[in-house]
Chain A
Amino acid sequence: MTAVDIKPKRRGSNRPMWDEEPSLVGKSLKSLFLIAYAAAIVVPLWAIVATSFASEEALNRAGGNLLLLPTDLSLAAYHEIFSGGALTDSLLLTIILTVGGTAFSMVLTVCGAYALSRTSSLLHRPILMLVLFTFLFGPGMYPSFLVVQKLGLFNDYLSLILPVALSGFNLIVLRAFFMNTIPGELLDAARIDGAGEFRILLTIVLPMSKAILAVVALFYAVGYWNIYFSAVLYTPGLETQPIQVVLQRMLMSTQGLPESAAGAAQYQPQGEAAPTAALKMAVVVCTVIPIVIMYPFIQKHFTKAVITGAIKG
């Protein structure tokens, strides 16, 4: 080590000593690949944001439905979304579903993960097997639909939360974290001091798991925010639909294609004027913004917390 370290490193590079500098061709191909990939993601998103602020005239002049550079900015589209109409209702509904659903999911997952993190307890193995089997088999769309009907939840907003409230994957990840990261001695000590399981969970385990709890909650939240399929299946008759369904209806209404599928009729908007490109893109921006806000946090803790838990645990 000492003998090699004398050779001066190029400034700003943390390439290890033994690694040879790649060739110029290799380097530029690599950069090209990465830049093209990133551009394919960033440019459309930029165009969507730009279009959402464009005025009707600017869009007509451009003759398309996406602009790369908005010339005269207008907030008309956002004004329409937040002016208290159907779009406002839909956004409010989606926010309530996301917050309520995430809270319910977290209670289920935390309780289950803690109970199953104690491998010596009564019925531990059978209950764990009940969870793990959900990874191998799916009950199927029609039987799930039947059960929702039998419970009287068809066309009820609860059917958007209850059937999908528990993710076995999240439970197992959280359980692995509880088992591997929280020192058993600490829990033993608390038990000797006379603390019950509920108290241990609330005062020791949860405060020590804040980061992973936040990541699991964000995963649930993204799931609820993106709800589309459940709404198509379980609540097709309700007036106010989650924002993804509304966005899909707006998209369909401007594609102007003949109906090719039985059953698609119910998703056609009823005789309303086609939304302007700016309004459509403003709705897209509204569905993206919560994700972009949550994203840095998921990014920061995800690899550390979830991947290591899932792969090593």
Chain B
Amino acid sequence: MTGRHPDARVVKRKRTAAQRLRHDWPLLVLALPVVAQLAIFFYWPSAWNIIAFMDYSPHRPFWENPFVGFAWFQRLFADPYFVPALLNTLKFAAAQLLLLFPLSIILALVMHSVVSTKVRSTFQSIVYLPYFFSWVLVVTVFVQVLGADGLVSNWLMSLGGDRMTFTSNPDTFLLLAWMQWAWKDAGWGMIIFLAALASINPSLYEASAVDGANRWRRMWHVTLPGIRPVIILLLILQIGGILSVGFEQYQLQRQAVGYQATEVLDTYVYYRSVIGTEGASFGTAAGLFKGVIGLILILAANKVAHRLGEQGIYQKS
């Protein structure tokens, strides 16, 4: 069709590296900035993780820093602040998975069932907007509305109630965090699921309706299987990111709520090591622990998805 020689593929394979270089050098030049960027700001710092196994000091030449094996990791697990930070991280990740994920699906299903395109696009625009707001903005909005001097608090006080302490109460911080996710991020999940819903062939609905399936049975037998690949894809990414719940949301509310309730692994590294008294090796060990666990989890989740016959995040090769 393209007029290629039938043996084009064979001929291509026979070209030597020098010939390919002569032919492909413009593409290599185009790829060079990306390779340089990744080398400097991704792979170079990744290589610096070696100092998690050294007693690193910036004041002596690199090769004079002695190797200490897993000593920093032992120290990490013995640190009384580390395990609570790890447990908090897991708690927030689980809460996101168990509450935010179904909420995004429910929002998408409800939105999908709205027939009027006008109503649909209006609501879609509103719910999706806060996804683009910064965490500083989201926390500000929550303090202004639900804080001690906020809108709701003032209204309650004018009715004779007490001042609200919701935005500074460590006991209810998980609920506050969940409301913030629902406010900021549920719209993003909804958009992705809506796109998946739109890709389901409408004749499947029609056929099952003709066969007598009511709306619930159609949802169970057509809709949910239709969005299953997307659900699994997002689930894998969520599981891989289980130790990366973010930094800003927790750092921003640390002062108001206290560190016990808001400490997660990222804030732990920042406050203990980057601006704290623990050195570079300690902070690097904590970060490497997070990175390696994340890598293992995402590969394992992907493997399970393949076993279940799903595509996962990358194809089996």
Contact = CB atoms under 8 A, between A and B. Distances in A.
Given A120-B12, A261-B254, A143 B183 contact: no
A297 B117 CA distance: 18
Nearest to B198: A303
Given A116-B31, A146-B48, A261-B254, A244 B136 contact: yes
B255 A228 contact: no
A165 B40 CA distance: 12
16 contacts: A12-B116, A16-B202, A18-B205, A18-B210, A107-B33, A118-B27, A121-B28, A130-B38, A143-B48, A147-B40, A165-B41, A244-B134, A247-B137, A262-B275, A284-B137, A311-B196
A207 interface: no
A288 B137 contact: yes
B128 to A, nearest CB: 7
Contact of B269 (A142, A146, A244): A142
Given A131-B34, A281-B144, 17 more contacts: A20-B214, A68-B151, A111-B34, A115-B30, A116-B31, A132-B314, A134-B38, A139-B45, A171-B34, A198-B26, A226-B132, A228-B135, A233-B270, A260-B254, A260-B258, A284-B137, A311-B196
B173 interface: no
Contacts of A252: 255
B191 interface: yes
Query: Chain A's interface: helix, strand, loop or mixed, by majority?
Result: helix
B232 to A, nearest CB: 12
A60 interface: no
A31 to B, nearest CB: 9
B74 interface: no
Measured as residues with beta carbon below 8 angstroms from the partner, the interface class of chain A is 35 or more
Interface residues of B, number: 111
A122 B128 CA distance: 41
A248 interface: yes
Query: Chain B's interface: helix, strand, loop or mixed, by majority?
Result: helix
Given A112-B31, A114-B30, A122-B21, A142 B287 contact: yes
Contact of B150 (A66, A68, A116, A261): A66
Given A34-B123, A139-B46, A259-B255, A47 B129 contact: no
Contacts of A263: 270-271, 275-276
Given A228-B135, A251-B139, A307 B191 contact: yes
A197 B284 CA distance: 42
Interface stretch (B84-92, B93-101, B289-297): B289-297
A136 interface: yes
Nearest to A132: B314
A19 B223 CA distance: 14
A13 B140 CA distance: 41
B27 A140 contact: no
Interface of B: 2, 12, 17, 20-21, 23-24, 26-28, 30-31, 33-35, 37-38, 40-46, 48-49, 51, 107, 110-111, 113-117, 123-130, 132-137, 139-141, 143-145, 147, 149-151, 153-154, 168, 183, 191-192, 194-196, 198, 202, 205-206, 209-210, 214-215, 230, 233, 240, 244, 247-248, 251-252, 254-256, 258-259, 266, 269-271, 273-276, 280, 283-284, 286-288, 290-291, 294-295, 298-299, 313-314
A147 B41 contact: yes
A123 B299 CA distance: 25
B132 A222 contact: yes
User: Which of A37, A163, A260, A264 gathers the greatest number of chain B CB atoms within 10 Å?
Assistant: A37
Interface in A30-45: 30, 33-34, 37-38, 40-42, 44-45
Contacts of B123: 34, 37-38
A2 interface: no
B258 to A, nearest CB: 5
A143 B147 contact: no
Contact of A136 (B28, B130, B298): B298
Given A19-B209, A111-B31, A140 B183 contact: no
Contacts of B111: 34
A270 interface: no
Given A122-B17, A146-B48, A248 B192 contact: no
A140 to B, nearest CB: 3
A122 B127 CA distance: 45
Given A44-B141, A139-B291, A287-B137, A108 B206 contact: no
Given A136-B298, A251-B140, A141 B283 contact: yes
Given A38-B123, A139-B42, A228-B135, A20 B117 contact: no
A45 B298 CA distance: 37
Contacts of B37: 108, 165-166
B32 to A, nearest CB: 8
Nearest to B284: A142
The 3 lowest CB-CB distance pairs between A and B, nearest first, are: A140-B287, A112-B34, A226-B134
Nearest to A65: B149
Nearest to B186: A37
